[in-house]
């Protein structure tokens, strides 16, 4: 049996998405900037995409911009806003557990002379709103807080943070990296005080290489990519029509069955965690103290630290049995550095290198989870004995 439980890294594309993309690449392949019929046909896909995402997010069509993925969206939001608003201040705020696309951009901005505050998180991976309030200053121009942590599934109090930021300083911009949250939670930027929001296609059964950035119409931002002036001069480059259309189709399909899918993901999470708890020496990370069932965290992520077994060893042992998981964030999986997220929530040093992330999708079945648990029950005692030797 082959079991794919690394859906936080990327997801299997919906068949309908693949079919649509092939049609566009082979039939409706015009450049949307061209004035002839082929170009007009291509442009219609872009208009449909903007309309669809504007309805899903309850925003205006002109506030939707398409990018090459979540990383570009985060870079565009942070760098573009920092540069455009520098006369108002040079202070930025983020959290200690952001995705590298945000953390490394913030470090770049620090090298440019900006001052960055990195908010700590509690043992569950959540910021404390009082810390955010204390960090705010008159020259704070932007706050960036992720919606869903990609490693442990913690959810941030986005609506509360947005209200707090706007109450203290209505001019401070609020960016949310929703790459892991979009499609698993209903996020409405205008209701939540969000000025900029990033999302990515390949996390929701769409294609890789395409994402979006919501930019509120009153946001002052400058482009970081220059060229032909596409997308209202904010993001130049020939539009990835097939990718954008595929991303749109995936989002539409997810939202059609949103309530049932999220409920089933939580059922998978609860069932799988119960199975893991039957073994000694396994710690599940990021859970709320009063919600052992995983409520109040992302429905699709389980982070488990396995004492006495290195994560890479367990990962490859599971791979031998056709089970695919991740040792933390896929974006940092090939770099031998302890997870900043696990360090931030206070995971004991021996467990920092013994943590596995399991992440589910709408394709995950109970049979796959049962098979994975059986393999884990068989592998871990043997691996622990080998490690002790």
For the sheet with 282-285, list strands across it.
282-285, 301-306, 355-359
Task: Please compute the mean of the pLDDT values over residues 115-129 and round it to a whole number.
Answer: 98
CB 235 within 8 A of CB 18: no
Tell me: pLDDT of 381 over 60. yes
pLDDT band at 165 (very low <50, low <70, confident <90, very high): very high
Note whether 249 and 287 are same-domain residues.
no
Residue 335 has pLDDT above 60, yes or no: no
Give the chain's radius of gyration (CA, Å): 21
Q: How confident is the model at residue 238 (pLDDT cuts 50, 70, 90)?
A: very high
pLDDT of amino acid 26 = 97
Say whether both 24 and 157 belong to one domain: yes
Over range 224-238, report the average pLDDT: 94
CATH of the domain at 368: 3.90.1150.10
Count of the separate structural domains present in the chain: 2
Task: Say yes or no to pLDDT of 376 above 70.
Answer: yes
Last residue of a domain, one of 255, 274, 308: 255
Residues 266 and 351 in one domain: yes
- Average the pLDDT over each of 3-7, 195-199, 347-351 and give the range with the smallest value: 347-351
CB within 8 A of 19, min separation 6: which ones?
Answer: none
Same domain, 102 and 59: yes
Q: Is the pLDDT of residue 315 over 70?
A: yes
Same domain as 376, residue 263: yes
pLDDT band at residue 388, thresholds of 50, 70 and 90? low
- Which parts of 34-76 are beta strand (E)? 64-67
Split at pLDDT 50, 70, 90, the class of 1 is very high
- Compute the average pLDDT of residues 354-362: 97
Can you list the pairs that 308-312 forms with residues at least 24 positions away whose Cβ atoms lie under 8 Å?
A: 308/281, 308/354, 308/383, 308/384, 308/387, 308/388, 309/354, 309/380, 309/383, 309/384, 309/387, 310/353, 310/354, 310/387, 311/353, 311/354, 311/355, 311/356
* CA angle centred on 216, ends 214 and 232, rounded to 5°: 75
**What is the tens place of the pLDDT at every residue in 8-29?**
999 999 999 999 999 999 999 9
* Whether 235 and 263 share a structural domain: no
Q: What is the pLDDT of residue 333?
A: 47
- Average pLDDT for residues 144-155, to the nearest whole number? 98
**Per-residue confidence band for 386, with pLDDT thresholds at 50, 70 and 90:** confident
pLDDT at residue 389 above 50?
no
Is there a single domain that holds both residue 65 and residue 192? Answer: yes
Domain of 354 in residue numbering reads as 3-11+258-388
Do 187 and 331 sit in the same domain of this protein? no
Percent of the chain predicted with pLDDT > 70? 97
Region 323-345 average pLDDT: 77
How far, in Å, are 95, 125, 150 from residue 118 at the CA level? 5, 13, 18
pLDDT band at 338 (very low <50, low <70, confident <90, very high): confident
- Is residue 181 domain-shared with residue 270, that is, in the same domain? no
Show Cβ contacts of residue 278 under 8 Å, excluding neighbours closer than 6 positions: 377
User: Which of 200, 227, 255 lies at the terminal end of a domain, its last residue?
Assistant: 255
Mean per-residue pLDDT of the chain: 95
CA atoms within 13 A on the CB side of 239: 32
Segment 267-280 mean pLDDT: 97
Burial class of residue 312 (count of CB atoms within 10 Å of its CB; 0-12, 13-18, 19+)? middle
What CATH number does residue 150 fall under? 3.40.640.10
What sign has the CA pseudo-torsion 72, 76, 78, 79?
A: positive
Question: pTM for this one?
Answer: 0.95
User: Do 285 and 318 belong together in one domain?
Assistant: yes
**Is there a single domain that holds both residue 242 and residue 161?**
yes
Range name among 57-61, 133-137, 232-236 with the lowest pLDDT average: 232-236
- Look-up of token digits 């205006």: 60
CA angle 274, 280, 284 (to 5 degrees): 50
* Domain end point (choices 221, 255, 289): 255
- Answer whether residue 134 shows pLDDT above 60: yes
Burial class (CB in 10 A: 0-12, 13-18, 19+), 165: buried
Residue 250 is predicted with a pLDDT of 98
CA–CA dist 315, 372 (Å, integer): 12
Confidence of residue 387 (pLDDT cuts 50, 70, 90): low
Same domain, 251 and 265: no
Active-site residue list: 331
């Amino acid at each position: 049996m082959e079991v794919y439980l690394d859906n936080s890294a990327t997801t299997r594309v919906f068949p309908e998405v693949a079919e649509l993309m092939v049609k566009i690449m082979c039939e409706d392949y015009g450049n949307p900037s061209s004035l002839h019929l082929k170009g007009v046909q291509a442009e219609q896909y872009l208009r449909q995409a903007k309309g669809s995402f504007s309805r899903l997010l309850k925003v205006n069509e002109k506030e939707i911009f398409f990018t090459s993925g979540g990383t570009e969206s985060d870079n565009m939001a942070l760098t573009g806003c920092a540069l455009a608003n520098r006369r108002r201040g040079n202070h930025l705020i983020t959290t200690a557990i952001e995705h590298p696309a945000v953390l490394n951009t913030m470090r770049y901005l620090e090298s440019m002379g900006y001052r960055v505050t990195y908010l700590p998180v509690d043992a569950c991976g959540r910021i404390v709103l009082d810390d955010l309030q204390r960090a705010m200053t008159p020259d704070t121009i932007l706050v960036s807080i992720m919606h869903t942590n990609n490693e442990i599934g913690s959810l941030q109090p986005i609506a509360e943070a947005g209200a707090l930021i706007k109450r203290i300083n209505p001019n401070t911009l609020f960016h949310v990296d929703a790459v892991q949250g979009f499609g698993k939670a209903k996020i409405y930027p205008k209701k939540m005080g969000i000025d900029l929001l990033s999302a990515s296609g390949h996390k929701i059964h769409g294609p890789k290489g395409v994402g979006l950035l919501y930019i509120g119409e009153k946001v002052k931002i400058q482009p970081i990519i220059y060229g032909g002036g596409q997308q209202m001069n904010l993001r130049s480059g020939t539009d990835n029509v097939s990718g954008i259309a595929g991303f749109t189709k995936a989002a539409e399909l997810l939202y059609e069955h949103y309530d049932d899918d999220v409920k089933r993901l939580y059922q998978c999470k609860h069932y799988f965690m119960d199975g893991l708890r039957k073994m000694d020496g396994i710690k599940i990370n990021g859970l709320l103290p009063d919600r052992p069932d995983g409520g109040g965290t992302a429905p699709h992520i389980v982070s488990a630290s396995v004492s006495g077994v290195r994560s890479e060893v367990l990962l490859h042992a599971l791979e031998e049995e056709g089970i695919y998981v991740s040792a933390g964030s896929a974006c940092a999986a090939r770099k031998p550095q302890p997870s900043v997220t696990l360090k931030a929530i206070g995971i004991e040093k021996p467990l920092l290198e013994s943590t596995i992330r399991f992440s589910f999708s709408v394709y995950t079945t109970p049979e796959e989870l049962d098979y994975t648990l059986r393999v884990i029950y068989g592998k871990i005692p043997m691996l622990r004995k080998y490690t002790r030797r």
